[in-house]
Structure 1
Amino acid sequence: MQLLPDAARRLAAWCAVILLAAGVGWVAIVLCGEFRTAVVPVLLALLGTALLGPLYRRLVKVKVNRSLAAGLTCVAVVVVVGGAVYIVVAALIDTGDQIVASLKQAAKSVAEHLGAAGTSLDDLASNSKDLLAKFGGTAASNVISGVSIVGESIAMAVLALLLVFFFLRDSHRVAGALRSLAPRGTADVVEAVARRAFEGVEGFMRGTTLIALIDAFCITVGLLILRVPGAVGLGALVLVGAYIPYLGAFISGAVAVLVALADRGFVIALWVLGVVVAVQVLEGHVLQPMIQSRTVQMHPAVVMLTITAGASVAGILGMLLAVPLTAAAFGVLHELRTSYASEAPGAPGEPQAPGIPEAPGEPGASSASDS
């Protein structure tokens, strides 16, 4: 190695570090895939804890017992989520036929204008029947596997809810546990990194939920004014899709425009497109800076790459988890850069982690480094 230039040795060292990090990351992904029934509930519970932390801390602040406060918070989330799911499902059931009929009409219009020989709807229908007859056995097996997936999903959801209870109840012990497990002299840095990561996830969840509600309300009102069929169901689709940045808004907006084009014509479809674009502009230039200005900011290109990577690793669940986990990673990198910058030569004594109060509070408490 001494025969190589200094630049070549540095390049080799960086290559070794990158390969080692990639190998560790790949092993971690494989292990998470093997133990997904345990890993997924933990990740979902962390997201739920980040979202419900403020409510829990308010209950504790008014002298409610920690166990009771955590239980009330979990009951509240079950009632709210259950009610929201009921409203969304009921709206989709009531308006689902209208949406499907509108999409069929749109497909028929496209086929009439662009259809060539062999591409009519009748040909597509006959081909679909042949495909169903050919792959009927596969479909039956998929139904059976789908039932098992539903059962597994319900079990993971219940486990995640129980973990949310324990995470909330024992949140005051997290700082002490991290400091006891940290290597000598790194307790402050470890605690600061953990706080920053949790703050990134907490800010993303709260901000995204509020923005999703505003987007869904505005688009639903616009669709109702334009008398687009299935406006409530399309608004529910916007609400769900908002948790997948950019891609969710594009898909839900495209469906709304297609439904308007099929049922109300080209002019109304243009108005719907204008409403969707106006809401997205409002989100990007007003809501995002105002609501998520205190959270980790990521470039849209990074978000898109993160969503793509999450989808390739874990499908829809990976798309949902990719952005908050990346926000946490960005928060960790920011905190590490800030912490180690304070270790510059001439800094007196042991570096203190920025933004950490003397008496550690809840894991989602705001730190001075946010200001």
Structure 2
Amino acid sequence: MTATLSSTRARAALRTSARTSGELLLVLLMLAVTLWILGRMWSVVWPLLIGLLLTTLTWPPTRFLRRRGWKPALAASVVTVLFLLVAMGVVALIAVPVASQSGELSDGVFKGIQELREWAAGPPLNIDDAQINKAFDTAVSRAQDSLGNVAGAVVTGVSTVLNGLVTAVVALFLMFFFLKDGPRFLPWLARQLPGRLATDVPTVAERGWNTLGAFVRSQAAVGLIDAVLIGLGLWILGVPLVLPLAVLTFVSAFVPIVGALFAGFVAVLIALVSNGLTDALIVLAIIVVVQQLEGNVLQPIIQSRGLGLHAAVILLAVTLGGSLFGIVGSLLAVPVTALIAVCWDYVREQLSEPSEGPGPGTDGLDTDAPVPS
């Protein structure tokens, strides 16, 4: 017996598909408008995000002091000052040894250039000094011809540095206020919202805050492992400035892609000018192996455990964020994805059948948590 297509069911299916498509388009339109608004407000949103990430680092000692009876303003002030001292100490730990060995490094740079020229003059390249000088003169000529572009790039770079300093100062002040007044935010937010929103929004905000803390802790763990492994390799090879390079590796772990490239370039350069080409290639191999281990094994595993995300989701999020928004997108891809997952899990809990029971974290608010995102 041949089944015939029911026109009634077909029209109903078409109407359902059309309604679902329209609702999906409205949701996508809302997301596009939200992203556009955030883009217009980026000068405010970016320091706010940095301030929140810094607060996740400094909130545990602040909470410890507050639980020992310290006033909120005093605890926040002490922790903020200590954070500044630690940050300046890290900078000094990198800058002072480099400055003390600047003469040795400059001699090494000259020696490294001479070695590269001698290597290029031999087989298989067989590049003589005349060709090298000609290439150098051509590069100088092109640089002179594009002097205006270089000046414009310098101005842009100076503007970027100034904007970065302003962002850092604003983020630091926001961190202080978050540490001082953060625990009062969730109760205040619950009083301002009507009905069920008074419970839903603070609960999601609390979970989002915990997610940000897990992200920062996982990045710190990954950076520490990178610093130990690369620092150990540099120490075995006898490369100078091992401690500053290890500190630089740890700090750069918080800036995906560019941070690792910059720290690796500095380590290879110092190995080249101090130990020679062979050790520089060994350092490059060590950095490549460690970075591959970090990017493909350590970071996905550590972040997936801390954030509740699958390792493949983290890799795809970083790739998508970097392709859409560059370095900033790579930096914020994982925490944003984790926050989206938090919202989705809460919505799914509220839409599930009562027999499944409430999800974790819905039994109350943590009034001892600072400002969530």
TM-score of the two chains, using structure 2 as the length reference:
0.77
Q: Distance in 2 between matches of 1:126 and 1:65?
A: 66
Distance 1:356 1:100 in 2: 60
**Deviations 1:50-102, CA, capped at 9 Å, x for gaps:** 12111111111101001111111111111111211232334555467589669
Q: Which residue of 1 aligns with 2:48?
A: 42
Does structure 1 residue 317 correspond to structure 2 residue 328?
Answer: yes
> What's 1:277 paired with?
289
Give the 5 Å matches for 1:325-336: 325-336=336-347
Deviations 1:99-151 (A, max 9, x none): 96698679765797775999965454233212221221222233334333332
Q: Which segment drifts farther, 43-52 or 205-214?
A: 205-214
Q: Which residue of 2 aligns with 1:20?
A: 26
Q: How far apart are the structure 2 equivalents of 1:317 and 1:134?
A: 33
The answer to whether residue 227 in structure 2 is matched with residue 216 in structure 1 is yes
Aligned-partner residue type, residue 76 of structure 2: A
What is the match of residue 144 of structure 2?
Answer: 133
CA distance, structure 2, for counterparts of residue 79 and residue 136 of structure 1: 40
2:87 aligned with 1:81: yes
CA 1:354–1:56: 2 relative to 1, 3 Å: same
**Residues 231 and 245 in structure 2, CA contact (< 8 A), matched pair in contact too:** yes
Counterpart selection for 2:191 from 171, 176, 180:
180
Contact 2:269/2:280, CA 8 A, preserved across alignment: no
Alignment counterpart, residue 68 of structure 1, candidates 56, 67, 74: 74
Please state how far the C-alpha of 1:33 moved relative to its aligned partner. 3.0
1:206 equivalent among 208, 211, 217: 217
Once the two structures are TM-superposed, the CA of residue 256 in structure 1 deviates from its matched residue by: 4.4
Q: CA deviation at 1:32?
A: 2.9
- Measure how far apart 1:264 and its partner are: 4.0
How far has the Cα of 1:275 moved from its partner? 7.0
Q: Structure 1 110/45 Cα, relative in aligned 2: closer, same or farther at 3 Å?
A: farther
- Structure 1 pair 105/218, CA: closer, same or farther in 2 (3 Å)? farther
Query: Which structure's CA Rg is the greater one?
Result: 2
Match in the other structure for 1:369: none
**Structure 1 residue 297, shift from structure 2 partner:** 2.8
Q: Structure 1 residues 271, 82: closer, same or farther in 2, change over 3 A? A: closer
User: For residue 202 of structure 2, what is the amino acid of its counterpart?
Assistant: E
Q: Structure 2: how far apart are the matches of 1:85 and 1:195? A: 33
Q: Distance in 2 between matches of 1:103 and 1:158?
A: 40
Contact 2:55 2:178 in 1 (8 A): yes
Provide Cα deviations, 1:6-41, integer angstroms capped at 9, x if missing partner. 554454444434433433333333333333221111
Instruction: Indicate if the aligned counterparts of 1:218 and 1:279 stay in contact, CA closer than 8 A.
Output: no
Q: Aligned pair count?
A: 359
In structure 1, C-alpha distance between the alignment counterparts of 2:143 and 2:164, rounded to whole Å: 27
Are 2:51 and 2:171, in contact at CA under 8 Å, matched by a contact in 1?
A: yes
Shift of 1:288: 7.0
My pick for the range that moved more, 331-340 or 275-284, is 275-284
* % same residue: 27
Report how far residue 212 of structure 1 moved.
1.2
SS at match of 1:170: helix
How far does residue 337 in structure 1 lie from its aligned partner after superposition?
Answer: 2.6
Does residue 309 of structure 2 align to residue 297 of structure 1? yes
1:208, CA displacement in angstroms? 1.4
Structure 2 CA distance, aligned partners of 1:206 and 1:148?
A: 32
Length-normalised TM-score, structure 1: 0.77
Counterparts of 2:309 and 2:121, CA distance in 1:
43
